[in-house]
Chains A and B, each alone.
Chain A
Amino acid sequence: MRRRIRTASTALMTLFILAVPVLASSEHESGYEKTGIADPVEGWNHLWHEMLWDITVMGVIFALITIYFMWRYRRRFPQQEGKQVKLTFAGMMLWALLPAAIFMADDLYLAGKTWALYNTYRNVPENSMEIKLESAMWSWNFTYPNGVQATNELRVPVGKPIVMRMKSRDVIHSFYLPDFKVKEDSMPGRVTYLWFYPKEVGEHVITCAEFCGVMHSNMRGTLIIMPVDEFNTWLEKEKANI
């Protein structure tokens, strides 16, 4: 009997252990690509899929075992009672430390991967443009380095990393760019930041992710990524209008 449980446990553990290195093959978890600018979105997608594999494999193994047990050990006749194996001390410790070790290994593995990507997210690239954001109930106010201001419409040149330096005039808001997989709260009395990399020309949604009152769901904006010349012309024109 004890042998049986040991075989079962060894098989289970082997599966778990195999799952980890299979998932470990990854080159660009920090999202660096050939241009030299790290793109957090790419890193995010990569890490997300890796994590999804990880939890899916674990979840499916666990669920299959559960379903098998549920079917295999159904009651065959009334008065039948279970015959749980009595674990020895060594067995008990094995069943405590081995899963713990596997979970911890997986945790630390994921933590390590996250660390790399997280640093990409939080370390702003050198050549980025800094735009100030003041959020207020219920609008986003942007100030460009040359003093040009805009509300709810954030125009940026393509190919230049953008840093948002954020404050709030009233309550806590959260600047969320769903397509760029990033958000950060803006709050009164503290300065926070986030950066993103507009790679292609296009329009994206800006939306508030921290509950900020009645019109919370109407606190939106548009991120417009423009070709560089067009952006410069626009900026000059706006500057002249001040």
Chain B
Amino acid sequence: MSQSVSFGKNLSQWIFTTDHKRVGILYLIGSLAAFAVAGLMAVLIRVELSSIGPTITNPQTYNVWLYFHGAAMILGFQIPALTGFLANYLVPLMIGAKDVAFPRVNALSLWLFWMGIIVALLTFVVPNPPDFMWTAYPPYSIMSGGNTSFYTFTVLIMGFSSIVGGINLIATIIYMRAPGVTWAKLNIFVWATMCAFILQLIFVPVLGSAVTLLTLDKYLGTHFFDPAMGGDVLLYENLFWFYSHPAVYVILLPMMGIIYEIVATFAKNRIFNKKVVVFGGFIGTTVLSGEVWVHHLFTSGMPNWIRLGMMVSTLLISVPVGLMMIGLVGTLYRGAIQYKTPMLYACGFIFLFLVGGLTGIPHAMAALTLALHDTHFVVAHFHYVIAVSGTFAVFGGVYYLFPKMTGKMYNEALAKLAFFVLFIGVNVTFFTMFIVGLKGMPRRYFDYSHMPQLEHLHKIQTYGAFVIGLGALLILITWLHGAFYGKKAPTNPWGSRSLEWTHTESPPGPGNFGGKPLDLPEDWDPYGYGVNPD
């Protein structure tokens, strides 16, 4: 009896929490729920494609799966997990603040996010679920029987949640740093988060207005995108990618940030050329991100010279991203690398991101894209560069923060096994996908009976998908096992120098730093490893 009362009390404490750590964890739970359902969709999609012709479903249902997989993975998992969970949990701890600037606004952003997740999940309940992919290009999204408003509401709610959270965290980073936490000493993850939120604040309203107009077109009979009435279909594509390409960097920057944290901690090493990584890499990407979107429209009838111009700006993205990668590998140089699970994820990330990043180059080259665009090659590329890399960053981050969040340790052996299963699975699936795409398999296909020579390659991908699924299950088991039966964690199991490990309990209490004002020594540095070299 008393237990259930305390459970109810506990639950309401969690639901009505304004504590940034709990907000972060609730973000994590919500985004993992989205990941689980969208991941299940991915496995179903792979099963459907495993053989020619209808395998387990009809095209209509298949399109809904594709829609949900895309929309939920990006809007429900990647962005909230990286900018919701990690940013909310880590940023105040890293800058020595007792909470974010506006804790109750933070709770609002969390609630909006959960509402967004629920609206997205309703896809499987409403009679005519959206079937027009997460891009929702008109005129199809206007003509389709699918429920466009659910898509629009998901985008608007998630977008609003993200804006509210973004303003909050930017304000927190600027005004709530503890004395001694200067801009120069700021953790690299904090920089990355700030850049990501700036992008989000600038670009989300554009997508918001575009999808709103889409809904007006569909339900209120306006003609914003109707070509017969002076509308322009190409304009929607432009507006959509004007947000959605920067959204890629909203995902990329925090994932780079958390990987940097993990690498620095487990290599016990200073970050190589940190200033260049921050100003050249992060801020460079932020500045360039808004000038490259036309590479999504290289085959969409844009004027030729605009395509060539955007080709150059797209290729130039390799400069900041290259600087980030050099910084990352440079951080290994003369380090003392300890291969715990988070570090395995970070190393896996480096290789996956390398493959993904380099295969981005042919997409940027306008002439090569004419063949590769909208094929499985693109799908493989963005799965490597954003989807799998981002997921590795999130999982690595969860393992990294696991002792801090739960106060318990996970089982290292099981976690490592799960990592290798996952790593093998993603490479089998997505590397094969490159080959299939190169051979001309268009994306979003339900059936490929006119390309029967690709069937065995599709089969391999499906086997890979099952391996990924197994890996994900093992990871879930590791986490649950760790959370319930894990050994008690010390406050700083990894020996990090960063504030969230050195100055807090595991898990940190309310107010984070025990109510005492932080007194950081003059030479404090979150990466102050090997203070006296040689």
Q: Which residues of A contact B (CB under 8 A)?
A: 1, 5, 40, 43-44, 47-48, 51, 54-55, 58-59, 62-63, 65-66, 69-70, 73-76, 80-87, 92, 95-96, 99-100, 103-104, 106-108, 110-111, 113-115, 117-118, 120-122, 170-172, 174, 176, 178-179, 181-185, 187-190, 192, 205, 207-218, 220
Contact = CB atoms under 8 A, between A and B. Distances in A.
A221 to B, nearest CB: 9
B139 A44 contact: no
Interface of B: 59-60, 63, 131-133, 135, 137, 139-140, 143-144, 227-228, 231-234, 267-273, 275-276, 280, 299-301, 304, 307-308, 311-312, 315-316, 318-319, 322-323, 325-326, 329-339, 347, 350-351, 354-355, 358-359, 361-362, 365-368, 370-371, 373-375, 439-440, 442-448, 450-451, 529-530, 533-534
Contacts of B350: 66
Contact of B374 (A40, A65, A179, A210): A210
Contacts of B280: 96, 100
B451 A205 contact: yes
Contact of B367 (A121, A171, A217): A121
A121 B370 contact: yes
Contacts of B63: 214, 216
A219 B311 CA distance: 30
Given A69-B329, A183-B370, A84 B335 contact: yes
Contacts of A121: 367, 370
Given A81-B336, A190-B234, A114 B227 contact: no
Given A83-B534, A96-B280, A213-B140, A189 B232 contact: yes
Given A111-B308, A171-B137, A205-B450, 12 more contacts: A44-B370, A48-B368, A59-B358, A99-B326, A103-B322, A111-B311, A118-B304, A172-B139, A189-B231, A211-B135, A211-B137, A217-B448
Nearest to A110: B365
Given A44-B371, A185-B301, A211-B140, A75 B268 contact: yes
A216 B444 contact: yes
Contact of A190 (B276, B301, B375, B444): B301
Nearest to B277: A96
Given A73-B336, A75-B338, A82-B269, A110 B299 contact: no
Contacts, number: 259
Contact of B144 (A1, A75, A213): A213
A96 B292 CA distance: 22
B140 A212 contact: yes
A213 B64 CA distance: 11
B376 to A, nearest CB: 11
A63 B351 contact: yes
Contact of A95 (B227, B273, B304, B366): B273
Given A96-B273, A190-B301, A62 B354 contact: yes
A90 to B, nearest CB: 12
A209 B442 contact: yes
Contacts of B362: 48, 51, 55
Contacts of A66: 329, 332, 347, 350-351, 354
Nearest to A194: B370
Contacts of A51: 361-362, 365, 368
Contacts of B60: 214
Contacts of A81: 268-269, 336, 529-530
Nearest to A58: B358
B304 A84 contact: no
A208 B533 CA distance: 61
A92 B370 contact: no
Contact of A189 (B233, B367, B447, B533): B233
A106 B333 CA distance: 25
A183 B299 contact: yes
A141 to B, nearest CB: 18
A210 to B, nearest CB: 6
B52 to A, nearest CB: 11
Contact of A117 (B140, B367, B533): B367
Contacts of B269: 81-84
Contact of A73 (B337, B354, B448): B337
Contacts of A114: 308, 311, 365-368
B301 A55 contact: no
B3 to A, nearest CB: 42
22 contacts: A47-B365, A51-B368, A59-B358, A73-B335, A83-B334, A84-B272, A95-B326, A104-B316, A107-B318, A111-B308, A115-B308, A118-B366, A172-B300, A178-B371, A184-B299, A187-B233, A187-B300, A188-B233, A210-B374, A217-B59, A217-B447, A220-B450
A59 B304 CA distance: 31
A86 B534 CA distance: 12
Contacts of B330: 95
Contacts of A190: 227, 233-234, 301
Nearest to B307: A118
Contacts of B333: 5, 69, 73, 84-85
A3 to B, nearest CB: 14
Contacts of A176: 374, 440, 442
A92 B330 CA distance: 12
Nearest to B316: A107
A106 B318 CA distance: 10
Contacts of A54: 361
A192 B227 CA distance: 15
A47 B228 CA distance: 40
Contacts of A74: 336-339
- Nearest 9 interchain pairs by C-beta: A189-B227, A178-B440, A82-B269, A181-B371, A82-B335, A107-B315, A192-B301, A84-B270, A217-B445
Contacts of B326: 95, 99
A43 B367 contact: yes
Contacts of B440: 176, 178-179, 205, 207
Contacts of A208: 442
B455 to A, nearest CB: 14
A235 B270 CA distance: 73
A170 B335 CA distance: 60
A63 B368 contact: no
Contacts of A44: 367-368, 370-371
Nearest to A87: B273
A87 B270 CA distance: 11
A87 B277 CA distance: 13
Nearest to B135: A211
